[in-house]
Amino acid sequence: MDLEIQQRVKDIAEKFGPENVVVILGGSEAESAGLSAETVTAGDPTFAGPLAGVALGLRVYHVVEDEVKNEFDPAVYDEQCGMMEMVLDVDAIKSEVGNIRKQYTKFND
């Protein structure tokens, strides 16, 4: 996750309180989605950005995960995400982001 976005996530979490923030990811690979998820929960694993050593523990989901997908109007979801859902390795993304969330989020709903 690039440094600018890390800073924005950090600012938003400070402004609204981490309990009021949900991060939705759209990364196309399991590994990069997992790294982004880790960055907003346990802190930047590369220790290069503003979230290095900052464990925000935010709620984080990938847009293809059912918890998020079910909240959409199916027609809108299909139009916006349907195509990508077909070409992505959805299972790998779900498992990677889900694992990170289980380990590091501070807000278990």
d(CA 100, CA 44): 13
| Half-sphere exposure of residue 104: CA atoms within 13 angstroms, side-chain side | 26
Residue 98 makes contact with another protein by CB under 8 A: no
Structure tokens given for 52: 């290095």
- Of 3 and 68, nearer to another protein (C-beta) is 3
**Options 5, 45, 90, 98; binder of another protein; rule CB under 8 A:** 45
In contact, 94 and 29? CB cutoff 8 Å: no
Span near another protein by CB under 8 A; candidates 14-22, 50-58, 78-86, 90-98: 50-58
Q: What residues have CB less than 8 Å from 68, skipping those under 6 apart?
A: 24, 61, 62
Span near another protein by CB under 8 A; candidates 19-27, 47-55, 63-71, 82-90: 47-55
Residue 35 makes contact with another protein by CB under 8 A: yes
Q: What is the dihedral of CA 11, 109, 28, 14, to 10 degrees?
A: 0
| Per-residue contact flags (x/-) with another protein for residues 52 to 91, judged by CB under 8 A | xx--------------------------------------
**Contacting positions for another protein (CB under 8 A):** 3, 31, 35, 45-50, 52-53
